């Protein structure tokens, strides 16, 4: 049985009326920003279900954009984010959809940059808690509670052990691990959340493993 914490009861300190529709939206935008890393030219937000229908009243669009721009949940600029100077630094648009295969508070975010594009899908699960469920073609699970490394590699025996052995060598404790693949022997992904921090040396060591295509270190969100 899951224990209820004081955070679950009182929710986060935030700007806006709703922990799931406002604070959760900001945190989704922030975590997506941490994943993408580059400065986008444009972001397309596609809101689903409850987010699509009640988002305007709860400031969901404002929260998502504010998070992508790097604002925290208690930043007063969120209230007037559409008229702010920082919002003029990127293009953005919002789309709305009913699809009950999605969580009630779900959003797809497409980041478009000069030389790169990334699709990120996530949901706000209540009390400001969030989960990123998809990055490009890969199923993932990121909550923003832990520092996390995302690895894309060739699906073949021994890849998991090489990465986890690197963690063990540097005395890094793994909090959670999630793997997915497109098809046997094709591209696969590994999402490892850890206690503590991963140094540039550890990231470089993982990047040098043969048949590793991409490594991204995603820092946890502040409470």
* Whether 53 and 10 share a structural domain: yes
Q: What is d(CA 188, CA 186) in angstroms, rounded to the nearest whole number? A: 7
Burial degree of 77 (CB within 10 A; 0-12, 13-18, 19+) = middle
* Whether 178 and 197 share a structural domain: yes
The pLDDT of residue 21 = 53
What is the per-residue pLDDT across 104-141, written as a single tens digit (0 to 9) for each? 999 999 999 998 899 999 999 988 899 999 999 999 98
Whether 125 contacts 80, CB under 8 Å? no
Select from 136, 170, 200 the last residue of a domain.
136
Note the pTM of the prediction, 2 decimals: 0.85
DSSP 170: T
Crossing angle of helices 159-169/200-207, nearest 10°?
Answer: 160
Residue 14 reports pLDDT greater than 70? no
The pLDDT of residue 126 = 85
DSSP 157: T
Whether 144 contacts 175, CB under 8 Å? no
Both tokens of 28, joined, read 């989704």
Select from 95, 112, 136 the last residue of a domain.
136
Residue 100 reports pLDDT greater than 90? no
> What does the pLDDT average to over 25-44?
94
Number of structural domains in the chain:
2
The closest alpha carbon to 63, from 32, 29, 31, belongs to 29
Q: What's the CATH number where 185 sits?
A: 3.30.70.260
Residue 141, domain member (yes or no): no
Select from 107, 136, 165 the last residue of a domain.
136
The closest alpha carbon to 113, from 45, 61, 36, belongs to 36
The pLDDT of residue 56 = 82
Residue 142, domain member (yes or no): no
């Amino acid at each position: 049985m899951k224990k209820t914490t004081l955070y679950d009861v009182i929710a986060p300190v935030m700007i806006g009326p709703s922990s799931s529709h406002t604070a959760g939206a900001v945190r989704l935008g922030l975590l997506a920003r941490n994943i993408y890393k580059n400065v986008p030219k444009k972001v397309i937000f596609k809101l689903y279900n409850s987010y699509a229908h009640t988002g305007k009243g709860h400031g969901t669009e404002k929260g998502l954009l504010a998070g992508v721009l790097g604002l925290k949940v208690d930043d007063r600029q969120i209230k007037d984010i559409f008229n702010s100077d920082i919002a003029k630094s990127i293009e953005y648009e919002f789309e709305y959809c009913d699809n009950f295969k999605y969580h009630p508070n779900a959003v797809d975010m497409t980041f478009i940059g000069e030389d790169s594009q990334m699709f990120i899908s996530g949901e706000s699960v209540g009390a400001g808690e969030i989960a990123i469920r998809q990055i490009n073609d890969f199923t993932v699970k990121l909550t923003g509670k832990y520092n996390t490394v995302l690895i894309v590699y060739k699906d073949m025996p021994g890849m998991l052990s090489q990465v986890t052995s690197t963690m063990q060598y540097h005395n890094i404790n793994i909090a959670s691990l999630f793997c997915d693949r497109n098809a046997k022997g094709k591209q696969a992904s590994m999402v490892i959340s850890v206690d503590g921090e991963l140094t540039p040396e550890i990231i470089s060591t993982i990047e040098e493993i043969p048949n590793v295509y991409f490594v991204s270190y995603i820092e946890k969100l502040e409470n």
